Structures are given as C-alpha cells and as structure tokens.
C-alpha cells in the first residue's frame, strides 16, 4: 500500500495531469469527496447530510499558508463559513487547520486569529476543532488550544493521532485539564519518520484501541474518527461495557468514504459526523483520499473515462 500511495501522489503532482484534474475533476468523480468549491455548495450538502441523519463537520480547505495576507484571507473565509453555518440546525461543527491561519508563520498572530474565530463561533453556536497536522506543529497546536481554553473557549477541540509516539503523553496532558476538552482520535495520515511515528498498520491499530479506551475513561467527549470497521466495533463495545453514554462518544467519517457504512451506523442509532471539506484548494485533499484506497481511485477513473 505504501508503494501504491507513493505512486498515486507522484502521478497527481505531474503537471499536465494536475492541470486537467483541476479543470474537470470535481465534475468527473472527485466531487464524491468534497462538497464543491463554494460555500453555497457546502451548505447545500450539509443540509442533505442532516436530512439523512448525520451531522456535517465543515472544513474550508487550506493549510500551510505562505504569508500573513493569506492567513488573514483564511480567517475571513472561516468566519464567513461560521456565519452561514449558523442558519443550519445543531449540532454545528467545523474543522480549521492552524497553519491555515498562520500558525507556521507567527504563533502570536495565529492565536489572535484563532481567538477572533472562537468568538464568532461562540456567537453562532458552532463548535470548532483545531485540526492536527504534521508532527512539527503538534506542540504549537496544543498550546493554542490550551491558551484559548484558559480564556473560556471550551467550544474548541483538537485531534490526536494514534500513530505518533508522543500521543500517550499528550493524552495524559489533555485529560488532566478541567474541563477536559473534546478530542477527536484518528490514526494519522502524514508521512512521518519512524523516530516520531509507528510504522506498521498493526502497531497503529493497537495504539488506536488503547487510546480509545483511555479517552472513554477520561471523562470528556470523544469523537472516534476511522473507517476501520474493527476499530469502530471496538469503540462501540468498550463504550457500552464501560457505561459511557452515547452522547459522550460518537463516530466520525469522511464525506464520500464508505457511505454505506455511514448509513448503517446511523440506522443503528449511532451519532455519525461526516467531515465535509469544500473550497478551491480541493486538489491536494482529493489526491490524498485517492492514495489511501485503490477503490477510491477506481471510482474517479470511472468518472473520467465512463
């Protein structure tokens, strides 16, 4: 699978293919994984998900901005999304990448932007998750969350990645806070070195199960984010065995990935959140989804060639 992933990502970066895909990809299959380029598209799909019994987690795509002006524009875009989202029924959740608002440029200015976003989100009744990125940004993201939590912005949450070797310590750090912040647990999707991340699927799955149990016992709200049926079954079983209310533990999956599984979980009474990305910066996100599973690539190829 690692060779498949590397090949898909290399092909996706080839200039003629990227230019063709950016012109036509959303119309010919890539739109399965993103709501569209505009905010109106995102709100429309979000409403559809709510009618289908799932809640959307809006994410205006973008990360690793190159300058402060781009970070300012990203803040304005996120704030506009929050305002539009306020018109939809609760729960209203968003995901924001800290480097999108300049965390990799100037942490102090990024904190100011995040603070303004937090204020706007509180007024609109929107929960905001500070998404977790590659390992060099983990400390700054956790510091950002704790700074804003200390100011009373408890509607902010973040993400922990089970494949990082540091995650058990980060879990202990966050679970010691009062109140415990909401936390989303994922396997992790960045290509990280063995010095900082587990490298085998078995190790990552075992870590995910241990950390799920720790989170369930930790007293906070837990979002188990995976498409792995075994990990989902484990989380549900341990939640029920520990007597944790379903309101404290829900399941989150990506838009367009295993939709039948999402539908089944919702029918079985689970609260299911769907990470719903949108925006003009969709190409990198979609290529990562294609690189994860051959089935995803096959779906898009069928769209391109009929």
For the annotated catalytic residues, the residue numbers are 131, 184
Residue 61, classified by CB atoms within 10 Å of its CB into exposed (0-12), middle (13-18) or buried (19+), is: buried
CA distance 22 to 282: 9
CA distance 40 to 208: 36
User: Residues 203-233, buried b or exposed e (16+ Cβ, 10 A)?
Assistant: ebbebbbebbbbbbebebbbbbbbbbeebbe
Cβ contacts of 242 within 8 Å, gap of 6 or more: 216, 217
Contact between 199 and 176 (Cβ < 8 Å): no
């Amino acid at each position: 699978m690692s060779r498949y992933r590397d090949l898909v990502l290399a092909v996706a970066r080839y200039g003629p293919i990227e230019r063709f895909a950016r012109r036509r990809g959303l119309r010919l299959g890539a739109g399965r994984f993103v709501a569209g380029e505009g905010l109106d598209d995102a709100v429309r799909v979000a409403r559809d998900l709510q009618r289908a019994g799932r809640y959307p987690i809006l994410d205006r795509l973008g990360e690793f901005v190159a300058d402060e002006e781009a970070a300012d524009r990203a803040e304005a875009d996120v704030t506009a999304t929050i305002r539009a989202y306020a018109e939809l029924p609760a729960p209203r959740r968003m995901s924001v990448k800290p480097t999108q608002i300049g965390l990799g440029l100037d942490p102090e200015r990024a904190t100011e932007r995040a603070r303004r976003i937090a204020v706007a989100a509180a007024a609109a009744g929107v929960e905001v998750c500070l998404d977790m990125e590659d390992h060099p940004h983990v400390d700054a993201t956790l510091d950002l969350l704790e700074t804003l939590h200390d100011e009373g912005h408890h509607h902010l949450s973040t993400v922990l990645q089970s494949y990082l070797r540091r995650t058990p310590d980060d879990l202990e750090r966050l679970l010691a806070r009062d109140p415990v912040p909401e936390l989303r647990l994922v396997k992790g999707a960045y290509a990280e070195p063995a010095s900082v991340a587990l490298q085998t699927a078995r190790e990552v799955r075992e870590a995910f199960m241990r950390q799920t149990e720790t989170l369930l016992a930790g007293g906070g709200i837990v979002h188990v984010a995976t498409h792995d049926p075994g990990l989902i079954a484990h989380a549900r079983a341990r939640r029920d065995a520990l007597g944790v209310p379903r309101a404290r533990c829900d399941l989150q999956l990506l838009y367009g990935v295993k939709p039948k599984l999402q539908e089944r979980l919702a029918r079985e009474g689970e609260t299911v959140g769907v990470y719903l990305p949108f925006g003009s910066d969709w190409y990198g996100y979609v290529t990562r989804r294609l690189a994860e599973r051959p089935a995803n690539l096959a779906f898009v190829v069928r769209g391109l060639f009929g």
